[in-house]
Chain A
Amino acid sequence: MSDTYNNSDNNSDAEHAIDVADDFVEIATDVLPLDAWHRARGGRMVEFAGYWMPVQYNGEGGGIIAEHGWTRSHAGLFDVSHMGQLEVSGDGSAAALEALLPIDLSTLKPGRQRYSLLLDEDGGVLDDLMLTNAAHHWYLVVNGATKWDDIAHMREHLPDAITLTHLDDDALLALQGPEAAQALARIGLVPMNDGWPAIEAMTFMQAGPFLWGDVPLRVSRSGYTGEDGYEISVPADHAVALADALCAQPEVKPIGLGARDSLRLEAGLPLYGHDLSPETDPVGADLAFAINKRRRTSGGFPGADRVLKLLAAGAPRQRVGLLLEGRQAAREGALVFAGQTEIGTLTSGGFSPTLERPIAMAFVDAAHTAPGTSLDIEVRGKRLPATVTPLPFVPHRYHRKGAAA
């Protein structure tokens, strides 16, 4: 028996160990602030983005399906400290960031967060990120596997007057699920700014600084599961205490990377390095919403010429959701066929614990993107029937402004 999937366990099977070594020859695996905390809770640690991370937890309530279900019905605590937290400040920093991102910062008020894309000169996606207007600076959260390249890219392209700070002394936790708000509110966070909303009053994509006792936190109401929830940046030396305080709430259990992946796939959210890469453009990736309105006419961002043409004409290959028949999952890299013609490739795929059937995301030729289109996916020499389906697979349940409490 052997794994044929690269993100597998930290077992010491010799062949597997060689695979890992081949993938990560240059950099030794790093340890995050909650490493011992995860291990003490039965976290099964795997190598991910250069760090040891828990893929799932052993014991009762552990396992990807159980952790996935817990997050959808209660609240899951995710350690995402591998991600890059950056601060950008200085006179002209808004214009400097707008030269790198297709964002309109004039419409992003203090205390608000927005999704954006770091683009290369051809409009290829270098990374996707969250950007917060933190009043006197901009706070960015970028992907762990790309953060060093992002920092190098930004240092190269931001003017000297702009300060870029890597907040590498801060951990990042995500508390996600329908009971996240009540659990987080109970541990007692106080907004630092007068008049800013309390934890439960925040709406989706609001963000601000809080005090937990005397510990400063950055909190946003956002996440990567499709559920209501928060991301919480905490100084590394307080991360264990905060994780303990959250897991002491009856709604909260720690959740590993495995469920994080199945949750985001059900939510139709792309994963950088899989669904997004420098070879993908924002329009084909179904991320045109990240090209803000003013930038659609004014341009001025990397790759604008190509991206604006794609916006007008449509992208030749587009990201779609696929619902598979049967129970056998198809994985990243599987080819997609319309009849005998190869028309695309899976970029993510797996078993949906919520729908109890396999789901996938693929880039397919534009002629085959209509919901209801029947396609086939080739898995180990077999063709599995699948149907194009609107994303998300499982409805988002964000706490949007104006929605009922």
Chain B
Amino acid sequence: MTRYFTKDHEWIAVEGDTATVGITDYAQGQLGDITFVELPADGAALTKGASASVVDSVKAASDVYAPVSGTVGAANAALADAPELVNTDPEGEGWLWTMTLADAGELAGLMDEASYQDYIAGL
């Protein structure tokens, strides 16, 4: 499994042609207390860079963009009752949705973990 990162602070963990998507620890720290997550519908078609989900914190609503194009497998149902999982375990239990990839070539434009750490260190 390989994990990639976007400049908009999404992560995508890829295994074959399926993947799991969430927001990074840096992102949840910036957003603060998360109170609600609007998730994409199962089977929804996602376009790379388009809004796929909305994360509500006490102070703001923020779009989460699809890191790559594809089709939603399942959304994380646990977030309906426990949106704070995105704060406490953003890169684990606080995942947002799974998807199948339309074009694995789109991953080439994303950062690996080391590049992402360098990127946020410069913010």
Contacts and interface: CB of A to CB of B under 8 A. Distances in A.
Given A63-B32, A64-B33, A5 B58 contact: no
Nearest to A351: B35
Contact of B62 (A2, A55, A258): A2
Contacts of A9: 30
Contacts of B9: 1
Contacts of B36: 326-329, 351, 358
Interface residues of A, number: 31
A211 B120 CA distance: 48
A326 B35 CA distance: 11
B55 A1 contact: yes
Nearest to B33: A65
Contact of B64 (A1, A11, A56): A1
Given A9-B30, A63-B33, A64-B32, A353 B8 contact: no
Given A350-B58, A353-B58, A258 B32 contact: yes
Contacts of B62: 1-5
Nearest to B65: A1
Nearest to B58: A64
A1 B23 contact: yes
B76 to A, nearest CB: 15
Contact of B123 (A8, A11, A64): A11
A350 B83 contact: no
Given A64-B33, A329-B35, A1 B63 contact: yes
B3 to A, nearest CB: 16
Contacts of A331: 61
B48 to A, nearest CB: 14
Interface in A44-70: 55-56, 63-66, 68
Contact of A5 (B27, B33, B60, B123): B60
- Chief secondary structure at chain A's binding surface: loop
Interface in B31-56: 31-33, 35-36, 38, 54-56
Interface in B58-92: 58-65, 83
A4 B57 CA distance: 11
A351 B60 CA distance: 10
A123 to B, nearest CB: 32
A4 B56 CA distance: 10
A6 to B, nearest CB: 9
Contacts of A4: 60-63
Nearest to B83: A327
A64 B63 contact: no
Given A7-B59, A329-B36, A2 B8 contact: yes
A22 interface: no
A51 to B, nearest CB: 18
Contacts of B23: 1
B59 A1 contact: no
Nearest to A56: B32
A91 B109 CA distance: 72
B100 to A, nearest CB: 22
Contacts of A136: none
Contacts of B54: 380
Nearest to B63: A2
A350 B61 CA distance: 10
Interface string A1-37: 1111101110111000000000000000000000000
Most buried by A among B60, B62, B83: B60
Contact of A329 (B31, B56, B64, B65): B56
Nearest to B29: A58
B10 A1 contact: yes
Contacts of B55: 1
A262 interface: yes
A23 to B, nearest CB: 15
Interface string B15-37: 00000000100010011110110
A156 B65 CA distance: 51
A353 B65 CA distance: 27
A258 B63 contact: no
Contact of B59 (A11, A64, A328): A64
B123 A12 contact: yes
13 contacts: A1-B55, A1-B63, A3-B60, A3-B62, A4-B60, A4-B61, A5-B61, A7-B60, A63-B32, A64-B58, A258-B59, A358-B35, A358-B36
Interface of B: 8-10, 23, 27, 30-33, 35-36, 38, 54-65, 83, 123
Given A261-B59, A327-B36, 10 more contacts: A1-B10, A1-B62, A1-B64, A2-B8, A3-B60, A3-B62, A9-B30, A12-B123, A64-B58, A328-B38
Cβ-closest 4 pairs across A and B: A5-B60, A327-B36, A351-B35, A64-B58
